[in-house]
Amino acid sequence: MIAREVSLFLIALQFLTRIRIKRIDPFPDDWLPRAAKYMPVVGALIGVVVGAVLLVSAAVFPAPLPIVIALVVSILLTGALHEDGLADTADAFGGGTTRERCLEIMKDSRIGTYGTLALIMTLALKGTALAAIDPISAARVLVAGYAGARLAAVLALAILPYAGGDAAKVSRTTSHMTAVEIVVAVVSALVVGFFILDAVVLAVATMFALAAAAAVAWMARRKIGGYTGDVLGAVEQAYETAFLVCAAAIIAGPG
């Protein structure tokens, strides 16, 4: 049992980052719903690495360079997995008028105007939000925000029906997350957040970010009938961006 759970955690780690595990055996067919409960923890670990890079950079470089360096490391560490999903989803929903056309655009590896603008806006919002607060607070917000953003993607996976066809970047499975697995994912993300952030900041930023993620999920349900791997990435980015912006606004106050 322990060995199996360790394997599922390693699968989640390998899926969400560029870290490659030499061998995971056995590799379950329903790996996505089984490993999803560990994704908030992996998100928190990514946040720890990125936050540490920010703090070390802040001791060497003048602002806002540490923020830029931290965001670059975040993208490199995750292989731009979620940013790619955001860009493809923005292109699909912005340029597609039918479900079939949306899925066709998602499958296209080229980036369009909507995707480019979505990436520019989210990176600008995240960068300026983090630059508005001190490095220690920024590192804490990153850890909590990254954990919560992966939880948002997990909840979208659990709630929305599969709609990807050949356009999805995740494998279709007839298996679903169990109630226990969902609870594990939720509790792990909340524990990380309460441990690292002030309760008021966490509560308000989480509600704001969940609303942003829910808006993307609702649009996906309306436009294509459910989730794809790209949609999950867009949900994650919507939550992450909204969380960083809201948390920074509370901590720093109005300009």
In the structure, what pLDDT confidence band is assigned to residue 170 with cuts at 50, 70 and 90? Answer: low
Yes or no: say if 135 and 66 are a contact pair by the CB < 8 Å rule. Answer: yes
Please state, in angstroms and rounded to a whole number, the distance separating the CA atoms of residues 86 and 83.
5
Helix (H, G, I), strand (E, B) or coil at 178: coil
For residue range 108-166, list pLDDT tens digits in order.
Answer: 989 999 999 999 999 999 999 999 999 999 999 999 999 999 999 999 999 999 987 64
In the structure, what pLDDT confidence band is assigned to residue 204 with cuts at 50, 70 and 90? Answer: very high
Q: Tokens 């499958």 label which residue? A: 107
Q: What is the mean pLDDT of the chain?
A: 93
Residue 178 makes CB contacts below 8 A (sequence gap 6+) with none
Q: What per-residue confidence (pLDDT) applies to 17?
A: 96
Please state, in angstroms and rounded to a whole number, the distance separating the CA atoms of residues 214 and 41.
21
Q: What per-residue confidence (pLDDT) applies to 138?
A: 98
Please state, in angstroms and rounded to a whole number, the distance separating the CA atoms of residues 214 and 220.
10
The pLDDT > 90 percentage for the chain reads: 84
Decide if pLDDT at 167 tops 50: no
Using alpha carbons, select from 74, 17, 47, 31 the residue that is nearest to residue 188: 47
Decide if pLDDT at 20 tops 80: yes
State the alpha helices, DSSP H only, in the chain. Answer: 2-16, 31-35, 39-58, 65-78, 81-95, 99-107, 113-131, 135-159, 179-196, 199-223, 229-252
Please state, in angstroms and rounded to a whole number, the distance separating the CA atoms of residues 163 and 107.
13
Pick from 7-16, 99-108, 239-248 the range whose average pLDDT is largest: 239-248
Decide if pLDDT at 255 tops 70: no
Yes or no: say if 169 and 79 are a contact pair by the CB < 8 Å rule. Answer: no
For residue range 67-120, list pLDDT tens digits in order.
Answer: 999 999 999 999 999 999 999 999 999 999 999 999 999 999 899 999 999 999
Q: What angle do CA 107, 21, 196 make, to 5 degrees?
A: 85
Preceding peptide of 62 cis, ω within 30°: no
In the structure, what pLDDT confidence band is assigned to residue 168 with cuts at 50, 70 and 90? Answer: very low
